[in-house]
Structure 1
Amino acid sequence: MRETPKLSELDRKLVAALQVNGRASWKQVARALDATESTVARRGQQLLESGVVGVTGVLDHLRCGLGISLQVRMRSRPGTANAVAEALAVLPETRFVTVVTGSADVAAEFVVRDHHEVTRVLVEELPRPDDIVETESMVVVRKFSAVEEWDTGLLAPEATALLRADRARTGHREWSEPERLTPQEFAIARLLADDGRAGYAQLAAAVGVSESTAARRVESLVRRGCLRFRTLFETPLVGLDVEFMQWLVVEPGELENVGARLARLSSTQYVSATTGRFNLCLHGVLPGYGDLYHYMTEAVGALPGVRTADLTLQARALKRAYVRISADGTRERKT
């Protein structure tokens, strides 16, 4: 069983600030938290070096024409869920893997080139096939919100606004044709995937361009909606002990309305419309188990057109945003 590190109030707010803007300078964070820059830089660097918090740059595969996303639920033979999840986490196609409790045992997000690749991955190359009893895959056709946009609620609105002041925010539907990235942009994105807080001087030296060019390339990727920064941490660090996935069947005429309403809830980290038996998939967080009933009856129960609501609790995430998560909840170190 994982033990959640005990953080000070400042550390909790530091995590919340990085969730709002993973590339915010320590000076920006210090202003938002009304603390000294030296203290914020020291504590923030310690959190990052410990692996308790990490920042990674993630390309939006739909925006960049790199593939499609599948939300996959699996049932496994008794006692094999952890082994199945571990094997899935090794696959390069998996972006997210978690062990869940409820009507499924393992949930994962796969990113594949197109729908023709689904059979290859889920039928021909799925690891531990003898341990997997059933799979159910759903193609993501519309995102309403993503984890990068989620706000923990720990910071005052003024602090959040200050941290987001220089962030270009491109909605998930504000484009029609995929962007085409240059080899140089891909190289920069790969570096930021390893370290989302890498400085422009570091990026410039690695790619062989000037520091100002590196800055312009990153800013262009963000402005065009191609690159987003994801802060990785376990939500109990900020007092949110229950992570769950909600699978909904919604009447087609209410799908847009329900998706948009769910995206506005403070408990929602991610929500998307999908094909298949369930047409909405949601990742959410709550302070404790006592909040689940009110969430199911009031937040979900009040939504129009919801025919089925199936909630599974996340027991352990093994991969987030392509990054492997160690058994203790920290970002896995590359060797």
Structure 2
Amino acid sequence: MTLLDAFERRIVGALQINPRASWRAVAHALDEHERSVARRGTELLSSGRIAAVGIRRPAAPLLVRARCAPGSAPVTSEALAARADSSFSYVVTGSTDVVAEILTRRDQVAHLASVELATTPGITHAETLPVLKYFRTIRSWRVGALTPQEAAAMGEPQLPLDTPAMEPLDLPSQDQDIIDCLVGDARMSFEEIARRAGVSETTARRRVHWLLGQDMVQLRLLVEPAAVQLPVEALVWLRTTPQNIERIGDSLRRDVRVRYAAALAGSAQIVVDATLPTSEDLYRFVTESEWTSGVESFDITVVVRARKRGGRLNDPS
């Protein structure tokens, strides 16, 4: 994994706040030359080291914890990653072999749980855990490369919030086409979006702003944690009492080490995805953090391979 240098990390930090920001806006916020920002940022995007993508608003998101036949975890992870409705697919250590998030519809959950997962290659047992509430997603995860002043210049809210899952509205086909454009490339120009959706550029600009404002599609900047010197990634499954869920979730939402945290229905009440520099930091995360008060027990599964993140397939190598 090639590490990003300090300048590249600052560009990433700016685009995490606003994935559609112009190079001029990024350069202004970072007090750097626009040409240097544009050249380096374009190189990062074209090389695939970072990606700006969109995620459709989930209607019935759920996590899948799969145990696999010996040696088949990569095959299962690949199969789940290949699904158009999967957000991420990880091979992990511990009692679970593969973890994936599926962004499905409520009327499709029964078939997914009873048929589709049962026929997924390699799976010997699958547990489905519906997401009840997001405390944090990778949309509000930050690499920590910006000063508060630089973040404010990019429009960073004081504490980014992630909206809970809602049933999506029925949208006209042109809006669906626009969402498809943003899912594939969150930085696609209004001119190109207009051409693909068959609308005027003015209409494309107006509809993009409306869709983003209504949270019909959520934009995020993807970067591998290891590329920003956070090579240890773990999913921590927390068990607690109902009265502690909201307090623990709020604490996790404020913890900069957390990429993703959600309340679940199932054997664990909360899942946390944390990225850290070392195993010692992971140990301190689960033993010394504010959120540990009220946790009755927990499991740790370490991510050893991320085949898909943010709806985007990673290099299989």
State the TM-score bracket (shorter-chain normalisation): over 0.9
Letter in 1 for 2:83: L
Which residue in the other structure is 2:81 paired with? 89
Give me the whole-angstrom Cα distance separating, in 2, the residues matched to 1:305 and 1:22.
Answer: 36
In structure 1, what residue type is equivalent to 2:44? Answer: L
Tell me the residue number matched to 2:234.
244
The 3-state SS of whatever aligns with 2:292 is coil
Alignment of 1:301-316 (within 5 A): 303-316=292-305
The count of aligned residue pairs is: 316
Aligned residue runs from structure 1 range 130-279, under 5 A: 131-164=122-155, 171-172=162-163, 178-279=168-269
2:306 corresponds, among 317, 324, 329, to 317
Structure 1 residue 192, shift from structure 2 partner: 1.0
Contact 2:3–2:226 under 8 Å retained in 1: no
What is the root-mean-square deviation in Å for CA atoms of aligned residues? 2.2
Residue 108 of structure 2: aligned partner: 117
The equivalent residue for 1:332 is none
Letter in 2 for 1:134: H
Q: Which residue in 2 is equivalent to 1:285?
A: 275
Q: What fraction of aligned residue pairs are identical, expressed as a percent?
A: 36
- Secondary structure of 2:289's aligned partner: helix
Query: Shift of the alpha carbon at 1:130?
Result: 6.8
- Aligned equivalents of 1:192, 1:309: Cα separation in 2: 37
The Cα shift of 1:129 comes to 5.2
1:23 to 20, 24, 39: 20
Which whole-Å CA distance do the structure 1 matches of 2:220 and 2:121 have between them? Answer: 34
Task: State the 1:138 CA deviation.
Answer: 0.5
> Unaligned regions of 5+ residues in structure 1, if any?
62-66, 329-335
Q: Measure, in 1, the Cα distance between the counterparts of 2:161 and 2:279.
A: 34
SS of residue in 2 equivalent to 1:73: strand
Tell me the TM-score normalised to structure 2 length. Answer: 0.93
Q: Is the 8 A contact 1:141 1:273 kept in 2?
A: yes
Rounded Cα–Cα distance in structure 2 between residues aligned with 1:136 and 1:219: 38
What SS does structure 2 have at the residue aligned with 1:151?
coil
Of 93, 96, 103, 2:95 maps to 103
C-alpha distance in structure 1 between counterparts of 2:167 and 2:103, whole Å: 19
Deviation at 1:143, TM superposition (A): 1.1
Once residues 261 and 46 of structure 1 are traced to their aligned partners in structure 2, the CA distance between those partners, rounded to angstroms, is: 36
> How many Å apart are 1:132 and its aligned residue?
2.1
C-alpha deviation, 1:76, in angstroms: 1.3
- Aligned partners of 1:176 and 1:322: how far apart in 2? 19
Gaps of 5+ in 2: none
CA contact under 8 A between 1:286 and 1:292: conserved in structure 2?
Answer: yes
- CA deviations over 1:134-156 (Å, ceiling 9, x no partner): 21110011111111111221111
How far did 1:244 drift?
A: 1.3
AA at the equivalent of 2:39: R
Q: Using the alignment, how far apart are the partners of 2:137 and 2:171 within structure 1?
A: 22
Contact 1:87 1:127 in 2 (8 A): no
- C-alpha contact (below 8 Å) 1:144/1:270 kept by paired residues: yes
Moved more, 22-31 or 157-166: 157-166
